[in-house]
Structure 1
Amino acid sequence: MLKLYGFDVSNYYNMIKLAMALKGIDYEAVMTYPNQTPEYLAISPTGKVPALQTDQGVLVETNVILEYLDEISPQAPLYPTEPFAKAKVKELVKLIELYIELPARRCHTEAFWGVPVDDITKKEVKRALFNGVQALARAADFSPYIAGDTLTAADIMLLYSMDLAAPVAKKLFDVDLYEHAPGSKALMTKLKEMPEVQQIETDKRAAAPAFNAYLKKALGSK
């Protein structure tokens, strides 16, 4: 059986959870926070989550795992079969990750936990998010899903990226990312109504107290 290492508050971990839920894939969840212990580095070379242990070895990096799951479980496909359409979904996944999720992550500590970020970083993040969401608006269809009429891996990446990036932009910069990508807010609402997404949100809320305690200890040790 597949083993999925991670924790229920992690947006990248939840991307994999949603993909598995949609595909009906059974797996063993191994609750793991990112760490640099020799034991976990033997599983995940970066010490990050998620990591997926298969019979053939371990895979890391969320987009790689999503593509692997689509190969081994063709039901509820996350990528089109036609080469160009598949490449466009991969393009959207990478665009959202690099230009929305990752810039916003640089300001998570201030937006969500009150640990200040320097002004230079915030200026860079504000510019990056503004440019990123405008690029998304140009690249996406939102008809109703990000790549057309079918849910894909790009929608999963959008859901668990914008859900964090939008509050960062609003709280720190008073910028509504959804306004700059027409159709994105309606899509987020549609995705959050899915029963699989609602179950993951329930799991996330239940795991939040333990994660907050872990994070408080980690931030306090710096």
Structure 2
Amino acid sequence: MLTLYGFDVSNYFNMIKLALAVKGVDYKTVTLYPNQSAEYLSKSPMGKVPALETEQGVLTETNVILEYLDDTYPDNPLYPGNTFEKAKIRELVKMTELYLELPARRCHPEVFFGQQVDELTKKEAKRALCKGIEGLARCAQFSPYLAGEQLTAADIVFLYSADLASVVADKLFGLDLLNMAPGAKQLMASLNQREDVMKIAEDRKLGNIKFKKYIASVT
């Protein structure tokens, strides 16, 4: 059986949880926070989460795990279509990560942890988020999903990236980020109504309590 390492507050961890739920794959989880212990570094070379332990070994990096799951468990494909259509899904995944998730993450300390982020970083993040959502709007179909009529890996990454990016944009810049991409709000609402997504959201709430205790214990 697959073993998924990580914690329920991590958006990347939740991407893999949703992918496994969509595919109906059984797995077990080990709650674990990023760390540099020798034991965990033997599984995850950078000490990051998530990590997925398979019969052949351990995989890290979320997009790699998503593609592995799709290759190994072909039912309910996350990268459907011909080679070009699959490439377009990967393009959407990469755009969402590079131009929404990562710029917003630079401001997470201030928005979610009460720390201060310098003004230059915030200025750069604001510019990047606006440019990123506009670029995604030009690339995505939103009919109703990012790549068309079927849920794909792009929607999973979008769900757990754009949600946090939207909070950052609203709290720091007073921007309605999803409103800048026609169809994005409707997609987000539709995804959040899924039973598997609601279950992950409940796990996230419970996980946040444990995560706050963990942060308090190490600071």
Deviation of residue 197 (structure 1)? Answer: 0.2
Deviation of residue 113 (structure 1)? Answer: 1.7
Match in the other structure for 2:192:
192
Match in the other structure for 1:209:
209
Question: Structure 1 residues 216, 106: closer, same or farther in 2, change over 3 A?
Answer: farther
Q: Structure 2 counterpart of 1:130, which letter?
A: C
Deviation of residue 139 (structure 1)? Answer: 0.5
Where do 1:89-104 residues align within 5 Å? 89-104=89-104
Where do 1:43-192 residues align within 5 Å? 43-192=43-192
Distance (whole Å) between structure 1 residues aligned to residue 148 and residue 92 of structure 2: 12
Q: Structure 1 counterpart of 2:50, which letter?
A: P
- TM-score normalised to structure 1 length: 0.97
Query: Aligned pairs, how many?
Result: 219
Secondary structure of the equivalent of 2:28?
strand
Deviates more, 1:110-119 or 1:148-157: 110-119
Match in the other structure for 2:16:
16
The two structures, once aligned, show a CA RMSD in angstroms of 0.8
Q: Structure 2 counterpart of 1:188, which letter?
A: M
Distance (whole Å) between structure 2 residues aligned to residue 5 and residue 30 of structure 1: 5
Deviation of residue 74 (structure 1)? Answer: 0.8
Deviations for 1:63-106, whole angstroms, at most 9, x for unmatched residues?
Answer: 11000000111111100130000000000000000000011001
Q: Structure 2 counterpart of 1:73, which letter?
A: Y
Task: Specify every segment of 5 or more residues in structure 1 that has no aligned partner in the other structure, as ranges.
Answer: none
Secondary structure of the equivalent of 1:182?
coil
Deviation of residue 217 (structure 1)? Answer: 3.8
Q: Structure 2 counterpart of 1:129, which letter?
A: L
Alignment partner of 1:32 is 2:32: yes
- TM-score normalised to structure 2 length: 0.98
Deviations for 1:173-195, whole angstroms, at most 9, x for unmatched residues?
Answer: 11111111110000000000000
Q: Structure 2 counterpart of 1:199, which letter?
A: K
Secondary structure of the equivalent of 1:150?
coil
Deviation of residue 216 (structure 1)? Answer: 3.3
Task: Specify every segment of 5 or more residues in structure 2 that has no aligned partner in the other structure, as ranges.
Answer: none
Secondary structure of the equivalent of 1:64?
helix
Secondary structure of the equivalent of 1:34?
coil
Percent of aligned pairs sharing the same letter: 60
Distance (whole Å) between structure 2 residues aligned to residue 212 and residue 89 of structure 1: 35
Distance (whole Å) between structure 1 residues aligned to residue 209 and residue 70 of structure 2: 33
Secondary structure of the equivalent of 1:197?
helix
Deviations for 1:184-214, whole angstroms, at most 9, x for unmatched residues?
Answer: 0000000000000000001111111110122
